[in-house]
A = this chain, B = another copy of it.
Amino acid sequence: MQEPIDQFLDRLASSAPTPGGGSAAAVMGAMGAALTSMVCNVTIGKKGLEGVEAPMLAVRAESARLQVRLTEMMAEDKARRSAAIESSLRRATEVPLACARACAAVIALTQRAADLGYRGVVSDAGVAVLAAFAALRSAALNVYINAPMLRDRIFADQSMAEIDCLVAYAAADSETVYTTVRGRL
């Protein structure tokens, strides 16, 4: 995504079908992953925090991967919208579902960042979890619109069940991370 932020926001605001809510969800998820990496980067090498360096390196490897994955999904949202026009609703359900799974993975990493990260940047772990959870719920909205229209009812029902499960777990997990962050401020 080489597009300037200003231009992305203006295209988001326009009546053009893309970018839309799916792209915004991917950006929020990517910001959650990026802020998790930031907490790791500030923590790694800090005097007195040598004990958490190994887990923080593992978290950073995963959050960096998820940042790339979610950034790629901004482009996929465009494909999704075109696909929807071509009645390929299956892909229009699969892409936000994949986005939601990636955001659930980011939320799990924010718990590590909130627990182990340098105290001076713990609020950034809080912003990371809020962004990732908003992204997950946003992706879920796209599943809720598209899945009911699918002819393949088995895939549709599985997708709806999975997304409901992801939202429920993420709601509980993200509040736990937020509470950890508030407790360390």
Contact of B9 with A34 in the complex, beta carbons under 8 Å: yes
Q: Which A residues have a C-beta under 8 Å from some C-beta of B?
A: 1-6, 8-10, 12-15, 20-21, 24-25, 27-28, 30-31, 33-35, 37-38, 41-42, 63-64, 67, 71, 74, 121, 123-124, 126-128, 130-131, 133-134, 137-138, 141-142, 144-145, 178, 181-182, 185
B6 x A71 contact (CB < 8 A)? yes
| A138 and B174 alpha carbons, distance in the complex (Å) | 13
Question: How distant is A4 from chain B, measured CB to nearest CB, in Å?
Answer: 5
Q: List 12 A-B contacts (CB under 8 A).
A: A2-B6, A13-B35, A13-B38, A15-B41, A24-B34, A24-B127, A28-B131, A127-B138, A130-B138, A131-B134, A133-B134, A141-B185
Shortest distance from the beta carbon of A97 to any chain B beta carbon, whole Å: 15
Q: Is the CB of B182 within 8 A of A21?
A: no
Taking A12-B35, A13-B33, A24-B127 as known contacts, 20 extra A-B pairs with beta carbons closer than 8 A to each other, sorted by chain A number, are A2-B5, A4-B5, A5-B71, A13-B63, A14-B41, A15-B42, A21-B124, A21-B126, A24-B31, A24-B34, A24-B35, A28-B134, A123-B144, A127-B138, A130-B134, A131-B138, A133-B134, A134-B134, A141-B181, A144-B185
